[in-house]
Structure 1
Amino acid sequence: MQGRVAIVTGAASGIGRGIAEVLLREGCSVSVLDWNEEEGKRAVLEMTDDRDRIQFIQTDVSKESDIIRAVEQTAAKWGTVDILVNNVGTHFYRAVEQITADDWDRVMTTDLRGHFLTMQKVLPIMKKQGKGAIVNIASVHALQTVPHFAAYAAVKGGVVSMSRSIALEYASNGIRVNTVLPGMTRNSNIDKYLTSLDEKGREKAYRGMIRNIPVGRIAEPVEIGEAVAFLASDKAAFITGTTLAVDGGETSHLAWGQRE
């Protein structure tokens, strides 16, 4: 993947940062897109000393103008876009009857419309060069979910279906589109929650998190990044329109008798 150019959205922290770190390690130049300017600039400084292979572009994917600017800025700096990873997302945990129309629209705009628009703006570049790889980050909630996650489950299912359709549409142009479904993955919110507890509470909380994960732990962000890098690489040249769960076996697990 040496010399390839990647855009990663929501890359200032969590899974997005893990993806950016792996792509940088594999030789890519990376545009780090995120709405959080402070975190984004700090992440860029921490990920590599090679300023020629990384840049931060403050981007709100709910704004089409921001997406256009980010794609243009990436192509202007490195000449093209070879890889797009749509990772940015938001969610909330709320009973259906408590979800407002604005709540619903916010999730759909960020997690689905944002993915669509970013692909739409990158596809002409990839089409012109006759190749490209897009990896959309959805969630295991696209397959199996829990109560109070209706909006999140709906939008992640939408990402999977949209990705399949676009994969079919652009396969003849040498462009591959795949989806990764992360399971529970370490992030700043999980870390803050666990560190706020005493040792006994922390152990109990973590046991609850991993109860239905057969490998017995949550994922690290770079482990999602490894899966993304594979799908974006030539090693996956015959893979498009597929969905890869990176979840420690969680969605394969029939959790009989484990309800409390």
Structure 2
Amino acid sequence: MFSLKNKTALVTGGASGIGLAISQAFAQAGASVHILEINGDLAQQVANDITATGGQAQAHTIDVSNQAQVVELIGTIAQQSPIHILVNNAGVAHIGKADTTEEADFDRIFRINIKGVYNCLYATIPHLKANGGGVILNMASVAASVGIPDRFAYSMSKGAVLTMTLSVAKDYLNDNIRCNCISPARVHTPFVDGFLAKTYPGQEAEMFEKLSKTQPIGRMAEPKEVGALALYLCSDEAGFTTGCDYPLDGGFIRLNN
């Protein structure tokens, strides 16, 4: 089950955190994975690690907010082999309220988290249509569904990802293109460790425990758990699933009272 053999998958931000777990899971399931990353050296390292263990992966340096770059790269990949899967995972975080978020930070969040997703959709969907269909998976967040303190711009961006998911799922039903999104709560990634070290020096363990307990299940998710759900949603076994948001949240949305 959940084989991606003979499938070509694009994973943006696929060399760290959740994206890395998705790249690894897809490669283990037999996909040829194209890692699209702003950090080209890191992407190449991950691609080398995957190929060293028998998988198939290629690294590409790309700024997803630059439409010309995205269109050119995805067009080049499509010339090598048909594209079957797009995972829009690349994104950045921001802390701030509406009156403390600077315009430059707001624009950066918009440019990467929203326009970056749009650019990849714009560039990839024509190839999926030409190939008779495919799968798109977007990375949203619980912040798209509930209010999170001090996450104004980030929440805005993930709300946009959720509604783009619904729009794409509706518009391309007749093209055999499925589109879903995952909404994780807190996931234990290197970003979390870096945030704690920078913001709470000397209190990392205490704050990690506090943040973990904001999920009713009592812990953060592991990246591989997001990778496993992504694998299912992009596999043929999920062929009846489109236009859905999957909270992977340890009960955060429904059980927090």
Aligned partner of 1:13 in structure 2 is 16
Aligned partner of 1:101 in structure 2 is 103
1:166-245 alignment, distance < 5 Å: 166-192=168-194, 201-245=203-247
Aligned partner of 2:49 in structure 1 is 46
Say whether 1:254 aligns with 2:256: yes
Change (3 A) 1:93 1:76: same
The letter of the residue matching 2:210 is G
The letter of the residue matching 1:152 is Y
The letter of the residue matching 2:84 is D
Aligned partner of 1:71 in structure 2 is 74
TM-score by length of 2: 0.92
Which piece of structure 1 moves more, 24-33 or 141-150?
141-150
Change (3 A) 1:152 1:197: closer
Which piece of structure 1 moves more, 176-185 or 186-195?
186-195
Query: How far apart, in 2, do the equivalents of 1:195 and 1:165 lie?
Result: 39
- Percentage of matched positions with identical amino acids: 30
Q: Gaps (5+ residues) in structure 1?
A: 256-260
Query: How far apart, in 2, do the equivalents of 1:50 and 1:171 lie?
Result: 37
Secondary structure of 1:105's aligned partner? helix
Q: Is the 8 A contact 2:22 2:227 kept in 1?
A: yes
Query: How far apart, in 1, do the equivalents of 2:27 and 2:90 lie?
Result: 18
- Could you list the structure 1 runs, at least 4 aligned residues long, displaced by more than 6 angstroms after superposition: 195-198
**Residue 195 of structure 1: how far off its partner (Å):** 7.1
**Residue 159 of structure 1: how far off its partner (Å):** 0.7
Which piece of structure 1 moves more, 22-31 or 184-193?
184-193
Q: Is the 8 A contact 1:212 1:253 kept in 2?
A: no
Q: Is the 8 A contact 2:182 2:247 kept in 1?
A: yes
Aligned partner of 1:159 in structure 2 is 161
The letter of the residue matching 2:252 is E
Change (3 A) 1:210 1:44: same
Choose the corresponding residue for 2:38, options 35, 38, 60.
Answer: 35
Change (3 A) 1:48 1:191: farther
The letter of the residue matching 2:249 is D
Change (3 A) 1:222 1:143: same
Which piece of structure 1 moves more, 216-225 or 80-89?
216-225
Aligned partner of 1:90 in structure 2 is 92
Aligned partner of 2:139 in structure 1 is 137
Secondary structure of 1:166's aligned partner? helix
Secondary structure of 1:157's aligned partner? helix
Query: How far apart, in 1, do the equivalents of 2:147 and 2:67 lie?
Result: 30
Secondary structure of 1:16's aligned partner? helix
Query: How far apart, in 1, do the equivalents of 2:197 and 2:111 lie?
Result: 32
Query: How far apart, in 2, do the equivalents of 1:52 and 1:20 lie?
Result: 10
